[in-house]
Homo-oligomer: A and B are copies of this chain.
Amino acid sequence: MKTVVVTSNPRADLKIVDRFATLGVATTHEASGRAPNLMKAYMRPVWPGASIAGTVVTALTQPGDNWMIHVAAEQCRAGDVLVVACTTDNTDGMFGDLLATSLKARGVRGLVIDAGVRDAAVLREMGFPVWSRAISARGTVKSTLGSINVPIVCAGVAVRPGDIVVADDDGVVVVPAADIAETLAAADKRQANEAGKREKLAAGVLGLDLYDMRPALEKAGLRYVEKLGDA
B36, A152: Cβ atoms closer than 8 Å: yes
CA distance A207 to B221 in the complex (A): 25
CA distance A217 to B32 in the complex (A): 21
Q: Check: A192 CB closer than 8 A to any chain B CB.
A: no
Query: How big is the A interface, by class?
Result: 35 or more
Q: How many copies does the complex hold?
A: 6
A85, B36: Cβ atoms closer than 8 Å: yes
Q: Check: A181 CB closer than 8 A to any chain B CB.
A: no
B6, A173: Cβ atoms closer than 8 Å: no
Chain A window 200-231, contacts with chain B (Cβ cutoff 8 Å), 1 for yes, 0 for no: 01111011100101001100111111111001
Q: Check: A197 CB closer than 8 A to any chain B CB.
A: yes
A101 contact set on B, CB distance < 8 A: 198, 201-202
B220, A145: Cβ atoms closer than 8 Å: yes
A158 contact set on B, CB distance < 8 A: 151, 153, 158
Q: Check: A189 CB closer than 8 A to any chain B CB.
A: no
A153, B153: Cβ atoms closer than 8 Å: yes
Q: Take A2-B231, A220-B145, A231-B4 as given contacts and tell me if A201 and B88 are in contact as well, using a CB distance cutoff of 8 Å.
A: no
Q: Take A63-B63, A91-B89, A217-B71 as given contacts and tell me if A137 and B228 are in contact as well, using a CB distance cutoff of 8 Å.
A: no
How near does chain B come to A225, taking the closest CB pair, in angstroms? 5
Q: Check: A33 CB closer than 8 A to any chain B CB.
A: yes
CA distance A104 to B173 in the complex (A): 28
A41 contact set on B, CB distance < 8 A: 91, 116, 134-136, 138
CA distance A64 to B144 in the complex (A): 10
B138, A87: Cβ atoms closer than 8 Å: yes
A5-B225, A135-B171 given; 15 more Cβ-contact pairs under 8 Å: A2-B231, A6-B228, A26-B93, A63-B64, A64-B87, A70-B211, A87-B138, A98-B198, A101-B198, A120-B169, A121-B168, A121-B170, A135-B169, A142-B216, A158-B158
